Structures are given as structure tokens and as C-alpha cells.
Amino acid sequence: MLDKLDYTSVPGSRADHEITVYALSTCGFCKRALAFLNARGLAYRYVYMDNVPLETKTEAKKALKERFKDDVAFPFAVIDGERHLVGFIEPDWKKTLGLE
């Protein structure tokens, strides 16, 4: 289901991890999260969930919640298809992405 979403790929000089960010176009912390990845030259893909039709979005959020056993809030980042981050707390992102 998640593969059906229309992601935007952002190239970077580093592709240490496969990073997918589920974000809202209106959200300040989502903007900070994407800026954080951009500043470090990390390649990633993202989708603004507020631009996704309601039915598709509801299915996608359900799929994320079931897969990661966590409530979905934004930004919601999936790292290498295994780990996830909810919200933007910079030290947590640094640690999870091995940037410390």
C-alpha cells in the first residue's frame, strides 16, 4: 500500500540509509526535518500526506501504524524499512542516522 504513494525523491551526496519521510506541507517540524536531511546531503524521499486523498491516506497511516506498532504523527520517518522516528527531535535523528 505504501508503495502506491507518490513520493518525491531528493538526491544527496550521501545514501548511507534508505530514508522515507511522511510529512505535512503545513508543518514546521516537518520542514525542519527535511532541512536537516538537506543540510547533511542525505538522499531521501518524502510525501506530503496532506496532499494525498483521504481514503488513500487513511490506509497508508493504518499500514504505518501496523508495521511499526506506533501512533502516526508527523514527520514520520522510516529508516532502511526497519526503524522509524516520530516527530523531529534533532538528537534522536542524529543518533538513528549515525550522525553523532
Contact residues: other proteins, CB under 8 A: 24-32, 49-50, 54, 57-58, 61, 71, 73-74, 86-90
Cβ of 62: how many Cβ atoms within 10 Å? 12
- Residue number with CB closer to other proteins (44 or 48): 48
19 Cβ neighbours under 8 A, 6+ residues apart: 37, 42, 43, 44, 45, 77, 78, 79, 97
- Residue number with CB closer to other proteins (15 or 89): 89
Residue with cell 523531529: 88
- Residue number with CB closer to other proteins (18 or 90): 90
Minimum distance between the CB of residue 15 and other proteins, rounded to whole angstroms? 25
